[in-house]
Structure 1
Amino acid sequence: MTDVVRAEERPLIDVGEAGDPPGVRQLARGPLGYSFFVLAIIVSIFHVIANALGTPIERGLVALGNDVPALAPVLIPTGHWFGDLATLSTLTLCAAHFAGFALLCALRYPLKHCETAQGARIVLVIDIAIGLAIALSCAGLVMSENAIYARGVRLLPQEWVMAAIVVLGAIELTRRTTGLIIPVLIVIAVTYPTMWGSQIPGVFRFAGLSVETVTFRSIFSDEGMFGTIAQISATYVFMFILFGAFLVRSGAGDFIVDLARAAAGRFTGGPGFVAVLSSCLTGTISGSAIANTVSTGVITIPLMKRSGFPARFAAGVEAASSTGGQLMPPIMGAGAFVMASYTQIAYLDIVAVALLPAIVYFASVAFFVRVEAKRNGIVGGTEGENVWTVLKRGGPSFLIPIVVLIGLLIYGFTPTYAAGFAILAVIVASWITPGRMGVRAVLEALVLGASNMITTAVLLIAVGLIVNVIAMTGIGNTFSLMISDWAGGNVLVAIVLIALASLVLGMGLPVTAAYIVLATLSAPALQQLILSNAMPTSAIDADIIAQMVAGHLDAAVQPFFLLADPSSLMALSAPMSHEQAVELYAKLPPEVLDQIYATARGTLDPAVITGALLSAHMVIFWLSQDSNVTPPVCLTAFAAAAIAKSPPMSTGLVAWKLSKGLYLMPVMFAFTPFLTGTPLEMGLLFVVALIAVWGLGAAIEGYFEAPIPWYGRIGLFAGGVALLYPGEWLLNVAAAAVVIGLLALNAVASRRTA
């Protein structure tokens, strides 16, 4: 049993988000707290009905009304009302989503922190007014949509006011929840097409658009505030965050830590393994690395410190493991939902291929834990429950809902529908365990889900302002071309450039926002580079020359020859010698060759093109996590350091070292079929990746079972790098043999000296 407050012992109102900064308004008591409580329940219920349960409720009520005619006048209209909620337009759903969370955010995050009671009351009145103004403006803009289109996209004065309130409100609420960086970026982005884009030289010069056009598109376009990203927030992200909140309130969070302690606590370095395993499991239900760190770290970090791990190492393990929670299906910190929308690849396919890389990441962190434990002589614990006892007590509350969720997804239901019924499964499953969920617990879970969603909802809606400008001005295409040019066709260089951009963006943007911006800017370029790697220009050249020799040049390629040399028509219509084909092909200018290469790659198997798209997005998604653990701004590491009472910056450095998998796995995504291959290929690459991260980890630490001499470290490092070299199975096998052999020799040597 863990020495923490159990779910059933928590207070009725507990709306604080894990990791809340100082100055957040405390709402646990009084009329304000109960107002927030009721509003959060309404917001959560609205989303559940709109996303999952509206249609089933409608069918049930209508059927009951038909069976009981006396109740039909009440049941049937009520059923249709639920059905209407389930079929809201994207604009209406997203506007309602922002309206609800704007009110919650205004109550939860004050305009400013006041020391005096009178000042706090004045700020509260202002906050309520701001929240109501945003909510009413959202409603007004939805009702004005058709009239605005009828006028040829011309805004009336009152619509200008409502649009200004919504845009400025999103910027202000983002400032309250995430700081100044994102608001500054939004202001720069929004003013780029209207004010200063036409004043700058070079490739980023933009002719300009009217303020009215930019304002309209910022709100009503598919890329704007109430567009695709807001829809992802209002559907997939919210439903899975709420699902996680129900799991936590049912006691699943306690079960996860208990299970980790029972499963891993007895091994060498057991408390460290508990941190890794509990963060891994918590990642399946948590949408935030910081929340993961705070919720599990309060248990695992003191446990590691008591067993002998240094404070900064204990905090680094928790930060690195919690960051990995964002890579763990099914939630993946909202990334899987954004990726599914951007790529049009099924959500279930994304989370399925994300599992093995996530396991490799956690295995790499666990390896560092074991090495540190061996170096410091830290042994496992001897007391505690066994796994079966823990599973019997709390397993149903966690496992049954997960099985329901995965089963519905496999059966073909949408993620939101599956999440809605998985929430119902949480309630039902809780009655098999001691932590039964009654009405009070269900209400608390609804509040917890809405509260945990505030920052994410506001952020994703505000980021739509940036994405809209990127799409509207074409700056994303310009940036992609720049990456391709700088990389010089080298995928590895492109990955390094994206990693650097991710690190810079991560200093001011949360992980999800950094991924969205980077994916919008660089995913097309990276996809093309990966395709170039799959079909190099030399292969295209050889294929086209062979077609010319045979006299059957692909019809899609012929126009490029005629464009470069109209007189070549006669020559291309008949077979020719290899020398003639090479001579004719050599006359094509570079710009025509580039078009031929693009055309040839466009004829690839659609599965190959989709695989390259998935690999590009997964590379960017993994690299976008590095800001959690990379100094100077590594909030997850800082949160862990606060619990461990260790120096924040040195803790960040430890967390960065432990998280090296964030940089190794993207290389494998880009160069190997780890995400897109057959089950056999993916399984073999999984083993290769494990050996590689262990070999590199031992080389970095200079320790396995015993100290490793310098020449052994060089061999391990070389073997680990060689394992990452794509497509060379003989080299990979030889490298694996070197790594395994050196580690085995070290283990034998340690036993001889013991």
Structure 2
Amino acid sequence: MSSRRPSQPDPQEPSSARPDRPAPPFDVPAAPEAPASEDEAFDLEEVLAKYDRESAFRRLGGPVGWAIAATLIAFSLFQLYTAAFGVFDARIQRAIHLAFGMSLVYLLFPTRRGGSRTSLPWWDVLLGLAAAAIPLYLVVFYQEIVMRAGLPTPSDIAVATVAVLLVLEATRRVVGIPIVVIAVAFLVYAAVGRQMPGFLAHRGFSFAQIANHMYFTTEGIFGIPLGVSSTFIFLFILFGAFLEKTGIGRFFIDLANAVAGFASGGPAKVAVITSAFEGTISGSSVANTVGSGSFTIPMMKRLGYRPEFAAAVEAAASTGGQLMPPIMGAAAFLMAEFTGIPYIEIAKSAILPALLYFTGIFIAVHYEAKRVGLQGIPRSQLPSLWSVMRQRGHLFLPLVGIIYLLMEGNTPMKAAFYGIVLAVAAAMVHPSTRMSFRDIVGALEQGARAALGVVMATAAAGIIIGVITLTGLGLKLASGLVSLAQGQLLLTLFFTMITSLVLGMGSPTTANYVITSTIAAPALLQLGVPILVAHMFVFYFGIVADITPPVALAAYAGSGIARSNPLATGVTASRIAIGAFLIPFIFAFNPSMLLIDATWVHTLQMGITSVLGMFGVAVGMGGFYRAAMSLPERLLFVAGGLLMIDPKLLTDSVGLLLLAAGIAVQIVRAHDQTGKPIGRSAH
């Protein structure tokens, strides 16, 4: 999910025993707990806190710490109770969810980013109490509020005003300023509609009308985004926390090492495979980068990869985790709600694009290793696939169980609930993964804390949607976007991409998707793009914003571990993940890539040609196949690759010819350079 992250380590617990921080697999080089050099030393918590606002929470001890922990656990238990026995009325369910989440934000997150994380000032206690009481006003006086719907009293308006202010401040603390600025701008727009120019003008609304719409309807703060957070998303975040407690992070690293650790540039390939697996339980690009990168990045550097490349590989792969079914980022659950398409169908449609994304990264890593002459880890130092699967293969059961439940027609909420039960049960199979009572309680606490960012992001996004529904702004902006692009689909797609990337630089994926799906996706729908394609397009670019300079948070987090240049890391990550920038355009013009109206034969053909296309693009961008490439050769590979990704007979045929020509030239060049060192100095 967009705000899920690996659970935080207990400073009292030895690092080797922390299930949330992967231990070294067998005899591979030591993880950063024992760095190879002074230069590689880093503080995992500090890196997370610097680049991931949701990790910069207070760590309090004593009675206050226990009280907050109890509240977090109660939050998780409330969500589990409603999943097992049925949710309350929509507004009551969402109000209780917001009361828990918002009050905990004030108790856990300092006023300033660099504020003290070891003390709790009295004013934050008061704000926390107010943040719990204000949403509960809706619960306590629910019947009276329903009876006077549309006729709010002065006390109703006062409560609604305070609620909006509390939501904005809590969002600023845990998510960041950009999304708050956007929400405030939308609120101002609702009030000054008569003064707006051109097609943006509307009749304008009074302060009381805006406050009432934001708080007492299901189209504002308590709208669909918060509704999805209070049901599906929270439980999948909690599911990830329980899986982390089973030690699945170490299992993923061991499994990746067994599969690819021995190959050329093995540790980099391990990073790609591990991050793809991690994406099924952690939907935060930054947290995924730091969680698995704390092991893979130092290992890549010791093997010989330059720091920028090592950090970029991890960041690009970790960002792609949100694209990987069966459990994608939080925005994918919102997509299911907004489009009315079952989540399992969205996950199926995302399979081929996700595989292409990781294939492109894997190829880029492989040929970078070939270019520099990097070897893998000796097999004697790696675990065997059989031993890894025998000891911990049962940890896959919860993931398989969730897929089965979704395919059988269960709601995502029920699937996540039974997935949690299955995670606890599966962990009991082997002593090394068995969860103690303390582990279970810890998962309840850490899962709730990990969900706070999503709670506030969806509440703030509800304010934005509230203004859009109140003023009709969404249709106006969509029409304006189409008009600006003069009705051209390619230009509209390009403007939509830029919008998503810019919003993604300051907003979490969840909020970014809510805004762009409300504004930009309708523009694509006007041009005849299928609804799933339009929403998947904005979803993709909202995610890859995490590795797109100048604000590439996942890449910057990786650079914090690698001690590399942050901007250079972001540029390299964008180059490695070039497929993420190309694939959405391809499925926009050819929806069959999302398995829309596609036969199995066509899907197989499309998969093969698309993989060949990603090979051409990745190799051309990297500038090496058998030997260093000249600029014309690179263009030949890239052009051939792009044509192969577009699954049409003519483009496939021309693309195949171009790739064949490029490969032939490279074979001849490599033969001429036999015996000469290739690329070492350039690296």
**TM-score relative to the length of structure 1:** 0.80
Q: What's the CA shift for 1:734?
A: 3.2
Which residues in structure 2 correspond to 1:214-613 (within 5 Å)?
214-382=210-378, 383-397=381-395, 399-433=396-430, 434-531=432-529, 612-613=530-531
Q: What's the CA shift for 1:701?
A: 2.2
SS in 2 for 1:312: helix
Residue 167 in 1 paired to residue 164 in 2? yes
1:535-593 per-position Cα deviation (integer Å, ceiling 9, x unaligned)? xxxxxxxxxxxxxxxxxxxxxxxxxxxxxxxxxxxxxxxxxxxxxxxxxxxxxxxxxxx
Structure 1 consecutive aligned stretches of length 4 or more whose deviation exceeds 6 Å: 15-18, 113-117
Instruction: Judge conservation of contact 2:311–2:569 (CA < 8 Å) in 1.
Output: yes
Aligned to 1:596: none
Distance (Å, rounded) in 2 between the aligned partners of 1:614 and 1:687:
23
Distance (Å, rounded) in 2 between the aligned partners of 1:317 and 1:328:
16
Instruction: Judge conservation of contact 1:720–1:735 (CA < 8 Å) in 2.
Output: yes
Q: What's the CA shift for 1:737?
A: 4.0
Aligned pair partner of 1:674 in 593, 614, 626 = 593
Distance (Å, rounded) in 1 between the aligned partners of 2:353 and 2:646:
17
Q: What's the CA shift for 1:163?
A: 1.5
Q: What's the CA shift for 1:687?
A: 2.0
Q: What's the CA shift for 1:742?
A: 2.8
Instruction: Judge conservation of contact 1:141–1:162 (CA < 8 Å) in 2.
Output: no
Structure 2 residue identity aligned to 1:666: P
Give the number of the structure whose alpha-carbon radius of gyration is greater. 1
Which residues in structure 2 correspond to 1:105-124 (within 5 Å)?
105-112=105-112, 124=121
Distance (Å, rounded) in 2 between the aligned partners of 1:710 and 1:208:
56
- Cα 1:270/1:188, change in 2 over 3 Å: same
Aligned to 1:5: 16
Instruction: Judge conservation of contact 2:101–2:455 (CA < 8 Å) in 1.
Output: yes
Instruction: Judge conservation of contact 1:323–1:625 (CA < 8 Å) in 2.
Output: yes
Instruction: Judge conservation of contact 2:47–2:557 (CA < 8 Å) in 1.
Output: no
Aligned to 1:27: 59
Q: What's the CA shift for 1:144?
A: 3.0
Structure 2 residue identity aligned to 1:736: L
Instruction: Judge conservation of contact 1:530–1:671 (CA < 8 Å) in 2.
Output: no
1:320-348 per-position Cα deviation (integer Å, ceiling 9, x unaligned)? 01110111112322121011001000100
1:237-275 per-position Cα deviation (integer Å, ceiling 9, x unaligned)? 111111111111111111111111111111111111011
Instruction: Judge conservation of contact 2:157–2:212 (CA < 8 Å) in 1.
Output: no
Aligned to 1:43: 75
Q: What's the CA shift for 1:412?
A: 1.4
Aligned to 1:625: 543
Distance (Å, rounded) in 2 between the aligned partners of 1:45 and 1:271:
39
Distance (Å, rounded) in 2 between the aligned partners of 1:464 and 1:116:
30
Distance (Å, rounded) in 2 between the aligned partners of 1:339 and 1:116:
37
- Cα 1:749/1:203, change in 2 over 3 Å: same
Structure 1 residue identity aligned to 2:615: W
Structure 2 residue identity aligned to 1:172: E
Aligned pair partner of 1:702 in 623, 628, 631 = 623
Aligned to 2:89: 89
Aligned to 2:176: 179
1:498-525 per-position Cα deviation (integer Å, ceiling 9, x unaligned)? 1111122122211221111011001122
Q: What's the CA shift for 1:627?
A: 1.7
Q: What's the CA shift for 1:134?
A: 1.6
Distance (Å, rounded) in 2 between the aligned partners of 1:748 and 1:441:
59
Residue 638 in 1 paired to residue 638 in 2? no
Distance (Å, rounded) in 1 between the aligned partners of 2:18 and 2:408:
32
Q: What's the CA shift for 1:8?
A: 5.2
Distance (Å, rounded) in 2 between the aligned partners of 1:114 and 1:749:
55
Aligned pair partner of 2:567 in 649, 656, 667 = 649
Structure 1 residue identity aligned to 2:655: A
Aligned-residue sequence identity (percent) comes to 35
Distance (Å, rounded) in 2 between the aligned partners of 1:145 and 1:744:
74
SS in 1 for 2:48: coil
Aligned to 1:730: 650
Instruction: Judge conservation of contact 2:110–2:173 (CA < 8 Å) in 1.
Output: yes
Q: What's the CA shift for 1:747?
A: 5.0
Q: What's the CA shift for 1:213?
A: 1.9
- Cα 1:28/1:259, change in 2 over 3 Å: farther
Q: What's the CA shift for 1:724?
A: 4.2
Distance (Å, rounded) in 1 between the aligned partners of 2:469 and 2:171:
21
Structure 2 residue identity aligned to 1:137: I
SS in 1 for 2:350: helix
- Cα 1:25/1:421, change in 2 over 3 Å: closer
Residue 717 in 1 paired to residue 638 in 2? yes
Distance (Å, rounded) in 2 between the aligned partners of 1:216 and 1:115:
34
- Cα 1:392/1:749, change in 2 over 3 Å: farther
- Cα 1:737/1:49, change in 2 over 3 Å: farther
SS in 2 for 1:326: helix
Aligned to 1:569: none
- Cα 1:217/1:276, change in 2 over 3 Å: same
Distance (Å, rounded) in 2 between the aligned partners of 1:124 and 1:729:
66
- Cα 1:718/1:25, change in 2 over 3 Å: closer
Structure 2 residue identity aligned to 1:492: L
- Cα 1:308/1:9, change in 2 over 3 Å: closer
Q: What's the CA shift for 1:725?
A: 4.4
Distance (Å, rounded) in 2 between the aligned partners of 1:221 and 1:679:
45
Distance (Å, rounded) in 2 between the aligned partners of 1:50 and 1:447:
17
Q: What's the CA shift for 1:147?
A: 2.3
SS in 2 for 1:436: coil
Instruction: Judge conservation of contact 1:219–1:225 (CA < 8 Å) in 2.
Output: yes
Which residues in structure 2 correspond to 1:47-196 (within 5 Å)?
47-51=79-83, 53-54=84-85, 86-112=86-112, 124-194=121-191, 196=192
Distance (Å, rounded) in 2 between the aligned partners of 1:154 and 1:110:
37
Q: What's the CA shift for 1:702?
A: 1.9
Instruction: Judge conservation of contact 2:160–2:214 (CA < 8 Å) in 1.
Output: no
Structure 1 residue identity aligned to 2:62: G
Looking at both structures, which has the greater relative contact order when contacts are Cα pairs under 8 Å and sequence separation is at least 6? 2
Worse-matched range after superposition: 184-193 or 298-307:
184-193
Structure 2 residue identity aligned to 1:188: A
Instruction: Judge conservation of contact 1:297–1:318 (CA < 8 Å) in 2.
Output: yes
Q: What's the CA shift for 1:138?
A: 0.8
Unaligned runs of 5+ in 1: 55-85, 532-611
- Cα 1:274/1:218, change in 2 over 3 Å: same
Instruction: Judge conservation of contact 1:18–1:291 (CA < 8 Å) in 2.
Output: no
Unaligned runs of 5+ in 2: 1-13, 22-43, 676-683
Instruction: Judge conservation of contact 1:280–1:328 (CA < 8 Å) in 2.
Output: yes
Distance (Å, rounded) in 1 between the aligned partners of 2:282 and 2:301:
25
- Cα 1:710/1:139, change in 2 over 3 Å: closer
SS in 2 for 1:332: coil
Q: What's the CA shift for 1:152?
A: 4.8
- Cα 1:636/1:113, change in 2 over 3 Å: closer
Structure 1 residue identity aligned to 2:76: S
Q: What's the CA shift for 1:9?
A: 9.1
Q: What's the CA shift for 1:749?
A: 5.4
